[in-house]
Structure 1
Amino acid sequence: MYLDYFGLTEKPFSIAPNPEYLYLSERHKEALAHLTHGLGESGGFVLLTGEVGTGKTTVTRCMLEQVPDSTQVAFILNPTLSELELLASICDELEIDYDHNNATLKTLTDRIKERLLSNHENGRHTMLIIDEAQHLAPQVLEQLRLLTNLETNHKKLLQIILVGQPELQTLLRRNELRQLAQRITARYHLLPLTIAQVDAYIKHRLKIAGGRQTLFDFAAVKQIHQLTGGIPRLINLLCERALLGAYSAQVNQVSKKLITQAAQEALPETMANASHARTSGKGVGRTLATLCGVVVLFAVGIGLSYFI
């Protein structure tokens, strides 16, 4: 709808994970460096946490691009599983044959360990990535720890990357998981983008889509940062709606006012209401200030009349 109007070749703020739009802020690069360093250590667990929409998947995807072909990767996207279901999922991801009708924790564990040893003997590495790991039950995490017991004199044969929301850190502080926590070789908590990074993020996506990098004025960028808290997924939602608003208004640049209007339609209700409350609060503040001024002047007037 608005593509031709703004000279864009495609939507710059789609929430679909398009690798062409990949933007690594300094914080994403730092997270990637921590994870890469952790994988280069003796193995065990690597931890990546962050709020929803901060770019954990982006960092994980970048890391996978750097993984050599000699590494076999198992990627678990739905960790709401029992111990048996998790081991079965790992076998499926690693293309390990097993008897689906008579599978037990022991038989699946044995089959996985056989693959780990076979990969090691053939000069290959094995990596397990679990997304949304905050949903893992403590007993399932303990089962994962047991899988890392297989090791050589120099390294463990299975490297596990746990990716999740901040609740994952709380989960790993539980007393029954202290052995697992001690095996984490690297951890990084991904923070939201700063104002400068939000500005660079928006310009980067506009450039890839063939548009002008000045489509959003800086006041609009500051408002975007304030309303979204610097979370990329929310930035995309808000910018997409703001472009539609600019097209409807037939203006060539997105202003702060358009961002505020877009927030009421695009952002979660709680955030939009907070934005409205802040705006309303300023108006109330100005009204109160005016009333206070009138009262003071009235009081002064009464005082002067008394002395006169």
Structure 2
Amino acid sequence: MYLNYFGLTDNPFSIAPNPDFLYMSPRHKEALAHLTFGLRESGGFVMLTGEVGTGKTTVARKLLEQLPDNTQVAMILNPTLSAMELLATISDELGIEYSAEQASLKYFTDRILAKLASNHALGVNTVLIIDEAQHLMPEVLEQLRLLTNLETRREKLLKVVLIGQPELQVLLKRNELRQLAQRITARYHLLPLAATEVQAYVAHRLTVAGCQAPLFSAHSLTALYQITGGIPRVINLLCDRALSLAFMAQQTRVRRHVLVVAAEQILGTDVVSQRQEKRRWIWLTGLFTLAVLMGFVVGGGYA
């Protein structure tokens, strides 16, 4: 409802994964580089982890764009499956025909392995991408490891990309999954955006939406980083609400107090107060430490 008011051609802060608004921060680019390198290696697995909303799906979409044309990709978005269901889903994604009446772990495994061998003979790489991989059961992960056993002298015929929350790291430390953990050739943990990256993120999305003017004041962007911790999904939610509030108040820019009100409506007053107080405490601690160090330096000069 605020698009025309601010001269925007599209919603800049929609949480829908619109590729036109894709912002690759230095951290996202580094994560992509790790995954790309891992897929070129001979091992079977690469892993990307990060907190909710940090942009793991963004990296995955960019990875898909950069895969060679001779790549067949199987994508699994809901891995809360049994081993049998996972193999059936992989078969569906790879276009493998099968008979439900003959379904068994061995039956699906044989057909998938035959498909991998066929793809390799045709010069086609096969990549399996699993999102929300922290939900995979240990026995399902072990079944995945067995699929990657098919290999040439140089490489595995199936490369698996595991994308998940930090719980995935804990899961892979289990003793029964140590063989799989040893096959991970590249891993990266995606951190939230830094303060300067938050400013660049907001400016980028506004520019794509057709607005060159700085709709958010410097103080509001500082508060945005303090409250969101640099998590892109939360940034989108708060910026969208803040622009709506500014529009209703007929203001041309989002000031700090408007951003805070928007955050309180989305996250709750207690959460916003707690996060701002935490940042304030860190800032005061830093000043105190600096003052102590300066005291030592000055005192040393008189000694």
TM-score (norm 1): 0.88
- CA separation in 2, counterparts of 1:65 and 1:18? 14
Structure 1 residue 273 corresponds to structure 2 residue 264: no
- CA separation in 2, counterparts of 1:280 and 1:32? 34
Structure 1 residue 81 corresponds to structure 2 residue 81: yes
What are the ranges of 5 or more consecutive residues in structure 1 without an aligned counterpart? 282-308
- CA separation in 2, counterparts of 1:167 and 1:278? 23
- CA separation in 2, counterparts of 1:93 and 1:265? 41
State the 1:102 CA deviation.
2.1
Shift >4 Å, 4+ stretches: 277-281
Q: Retained in 1: the 8 A contact 2:227–2:276?
A: no
Counterpart mapping for 1:33-52 below 5 A = 33-52=33-52
Q: Given the superposition, is the C-alpha separation of residues 31 and 278 from structure 1 closer, same or farther in structure 2, using an over 3 Å criterion?
A: closer
Q: Retained in 2: the 8 A contact 1:43–1:157?
A: no
Counterpart mapping for 1:1-308 below 5 A = 1-267=1-267, 269=268, 272-277=269-274
Q: Given the superposition, is the C-alpha separation of residues 104 and 262 from structure 1 closer, same or farther in structure 2, using an over 3 Å criterion?
A: same
- CA separation in 1, counterparts of 2:201 and 2:48? 21
TM-score (norm 2): 0.90
Aligned residues: 279
- CA separation in 2, counterparts of 1:186 and 1:136? 19
- CA separation in 2, counterparts of 1:91 and 1:44? 18
Match for 1:183: what amino acid? R
Larger-Rg structure: 1
Q: Deviations over 1:36-74 (max 9, x none)?
A: 000111131000000000000000000110111211100
Q: Secondary structure at the match of 1:260?
A: helix
Q: Deviations over 1:169-220 (max 9, x none)?
A: 0000000000000000000000000010000000000000011341001111
Q: Retained in 1: the 8 A contact 2:214–2:253?
A: yes
Q: Given the superposition, is the C-alpha separation of residues 172 and 7 from structure 1 closer, same or farther in structure 2, using an over 3 Å criterion?
A: same
- CA separation in 1, counterparts of 2:13 and 2:197? 16
Identical-residue share of aligned pairs (%): 64
- CA separation in 2, counterparts of 1:8 and 1:264? 25
